[in-house]
Amino acid sequence: MNNVDYGELLRHFEEQRTKRQEEFKREMEGLEETISGLKKMLSRQQPLFRPEPRVITNLPGRYAGISVRWAVLSLLGEDSHGPLPTAKIAEALKAGGITSDSLNFTSNVSAVLSVMTNKRNEVESTESGYQLTDIGRSAWTAIKHTSQYLNRRAASASAPHA
């Protein structure tokens, strides 16, 4: 007859299963460590070529009659292709019709960006410049549909531009 000790056979396979589970666990931990290390390296890695920030420059009157904050939200939300440094933002806003009596408009824009970053969380600073956060995108979406914004846009569109 059959002299197989099924209890011994069962213990053997359970030991094999446990051994393989432990090997698999160690292998997965090693993979997770490697993946984590690579992610850290990539987050610190500088791109070889940083593209020049691009701004749509044909914006006469686009920002006339609105606040610097609204203009920044519009610029970063619709008119730029990537993060922009403060000086480029100031340049684009002036080209788009923002007027200011400040002695240094770029400093004024910098102050507005500081509030938008630190108090409102609407923009964030990157190595390439400022970009909208999700909160900033939501704010801009809400603002551009208000009657106050639409009325200012209509008034500036009918005014003559230089």
String of b and e for 72-83 (b: at least 16 CB within 10 Å)? bbbbbbebbeeb
pLDDT at 34: 87
Q: What is the pLDDT of residue 76?
A: 94
- The pLDDT score that the predictor gives to residue 52 is 59
Determine the pLDDT at residue 58: 59
User: If the chain, 162 residues long, is cut into consecutive pieces of 10 residues, what is the mean pLDDT of each piece?
Assistant: 82 94 92 84 64 60 89 92 92 89 92 96 93 94 88 71 50
Residue 129's DSSP bridge partners are 126
3-state SS, one letter per residue, for the chain: CCCCCHHHHHHHHHHHHHHHHHHHHHHHHHHHHHHHHHHHHHHHCCCCCCCCCEECCCCCCCCCCCCHHHHHHHHHHHHEECCECHHHHHHHHHHCCCCCCCCCHHHHHHHHHHHHHHCCCCEEEECCEEEECHHHHHHHHHHCCCHHHHHHHHHHHHCCCC
**pLDDT value, residue 16:** 95
Q: Token digits for 131?
A: 């970009």
Q: Name the residue with tokens 């003559």.
A: 160
